[in-house]
Structure 1
Amino acid sequence: MSDMTLLKVLRDMAEPFHVHGFRSTFTDWAANEGFPDAVVEAALAHKTPDAVQAAYRRTTYLGTADKPGARIDLMRAWGNYCLARGAGDENG
């Protein structure tokens, strides 16, 4: 899903928010939860700025069907956090 799709949803809802704020919130939350930066950056579809690392680190952190990777764990935890917050759990 593109950022323009999310921006259109926000505009249609007449919300004053911007898509970048969601990405920033996710990044801060993931750091506070102790998820590795590389996994967070992969989830945000960011490219590795270091050319040498980019040449060797080709993982998407998704894992396999038998053994889900760190990115799956990250997104599962983020989903649980969002659902708890949506249900009014202020400690989520």
Structure 2
Amino acid sequence: MAGCRICKREMLTVQGCAVGTVHINGKVYPRIKAGDERDFNPYMEDGERCGDCGAVKGCFHHFGCDIERCPVCGMQMISCDCEDVYYEWIEEE
């Protein structure tokens, strides 16, 4: 089993990542959800899981997923050329 490095949850037993934003070049952007029209696989069916990270359609991909797109440049998130990219886990009270 594999845990997400940013939300710390087991990837295949939860719906998706709990971190919904990413900081890029000093601005905060919403992450693209699995199955979203801007996702690499926009044709996912309801209840279907991402083939790489296990996120359910409509939920956020887990950190390091090959299929997550960068919300700024549209390229693969794990290898895009955007600078100053980081995720911030904020504990909900």
Question: Could you tell me the TM-score, scaled by structure 1's length?
Answer: 0.28
Q: Looking at both structures, which has the greater relative contact order when contacts are Cα pairs under 8 Å and sequence separation is at least 6?
A: 2
TM-score normalised by the chain length of structure 2 = 0.27
Flag the structure with higher strand content: 2
